[in-house]
């Protein structure tokens, strides 16, 4: 699995395309909008942070889902916005989302074969 993180609108998906020129649009799942079965079979999962949020709003943790996804799709490319560099949210849900997204991404970074952070369209390889 390859993990790509970065702030909003930094060109993370384009960077993924440049790393893997063979990616087809139909292989890209969007964590904001696609259903879980669609995501489960997507080679590229973008907006992982939004998926975590959606599931959290249904009372579900995403660790188990992510494990299962990686079993089905061990070569996945997971893309996530970084959401942790702000003031501690006052709303408990917002704080839980921020916290759990961070911990999940730490675990994914540790498991990844390679880990990139994209700034200004440039992918910095951290692992």
- Residues that bind other proteins in the complex, under the rule CB under 8 A: 3, 5, 7-8, 82-88, 92, 95, 98-103, 105-106, 108-110, 115, 117, 124, 126-127
| Helices 92-111 + 63-72 axis angle, to 10 | 30
The radius of gyration of the chain's CA atoms, rounded to the nearest angstrom, is 14
| Min separation Cβ 88 and other proteins, Å | 7
Q: Are 96 and 88 in contact (CB under 8 A)?
A: no
Q: Which is nearer to other proteins, 39 or 108 (CB)?
A: 108
SS3 51: helix
Residues forming a β-bridge with 77: 2, 44
Task: Name which of 19 and 109 has its Cβ closer to other proteins.
Answer: 109
Nearer to other proteins, 32 or 103 (CB): 103
Q: How far is the CB of 82 from other proteins (least distance, A)?
A: 6
Q: How far is CA 8 from CA 19, 34, 65, 104, in A?
A: 19, 19, 24, 18
Question: Quick one: 26 or 90, whose CB is closer to other proteins?
Answer: 90
Q: In angstroms, what is the minimal distance from the CB of 116 to other proteins?
A: 10
């Amino acid at each position: 699995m390859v993990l790509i993180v970065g702030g909003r609108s930094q060109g993370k998906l384009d960077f993924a395309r440049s790393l893997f020129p063979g990616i087809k649009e139909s292989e890209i799942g969007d964590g904001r909008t696609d259903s879980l079965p669609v995501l489960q079979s997507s080679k590229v999962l973008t907006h992982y942070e939004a998926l975590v949020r959606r599931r959290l709003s249904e009372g579900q943790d995403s660790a188990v889902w992510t494990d299962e996804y990686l079993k089905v799709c061990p070569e996945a490319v997971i893309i996530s916005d970084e959401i942790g560099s702000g003031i501690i949210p006052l709303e408990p849900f917002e704080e839980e989302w921020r916290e759990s997204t961070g911990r999940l991404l730490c675990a994914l970074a540790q498991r990844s074969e390679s880990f990139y952070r994209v700034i200004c369209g440039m992918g910095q390889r951290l692992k």
